Amino acid sequence: QKKLGKGLGEMHLNSTKSNPKIFGYPVEGFIGLTDQRKGWENNWIDCFLNLRIMPQISILQRNILDKKTINKLKEKIRSELINHKPINTLVHGDLWSGNVGVDKSGRGIIFDPASWWADNEVDIAMTRLFGGFGKEFYEEYHKILPKKEGFEKRMIIYNFYHVLNHANMFGGSYFNKVQNYTKAIIGM
């Protein structure tokens, strides 16, 4: 966990050296079984909404979120992210305990990415969505990239993308999670 946290922190920090100063990715990708849209945006909020949240909402069953609720969500996400200064890094994009391991030498490794240029916090947020990362991971990571004020709210917003994706892939109880995240975001 320590090596993995340190390694991810170093990867994020080192990627800022070649950062394109815009957010997104130049090629189509996948997040699980779902397409991950290519494209670039000049600012983080437009990237997150236009390339991640809205494409997932567009394939969500229509009776889950109505147009008025979607507009409220977009406005709330904008208002919560407007003063945030993201660190634009090349993120793994699908970082949960099932996509990490240890090599023969004991080094932490990550695999099965859905990479894009995004706020470094999207990776850290997802590590908390399904559990599996220890205290040592976060301690080592935050020695390199300290946690910023407001992260707990942004974590809910960033994980909304993955909850939407899971609802689109698996349905069932994930539709309830979409409703719960929607209420949490609108109620911030």
Catalytic residues: 94
Decide if 86 contacts 77 (C-beta within 8 A).
no
HEC per residue, 109-177: EECCCCCEEEECHHHHHHHHHCCCCCHHHHHHHHHHCCCCCCHHHHHHHHHHHHHHHHHHHHCCHHHHH
Nearest to 43 by CA among 119, 115, 94: 119
Decide if 115 contacts 90 (C-beta within 8 A).
yes
CA 46 to mean position of chain CA atoms: 14
The residues near 163 (Cβ < 8 Å, ≥ 6 apart) are 129, 174, 177, 178, 181
Distance CA 77, CA 54 (A): 12
Nearest to 60 by CA among 160, 136, 186, 187: 160
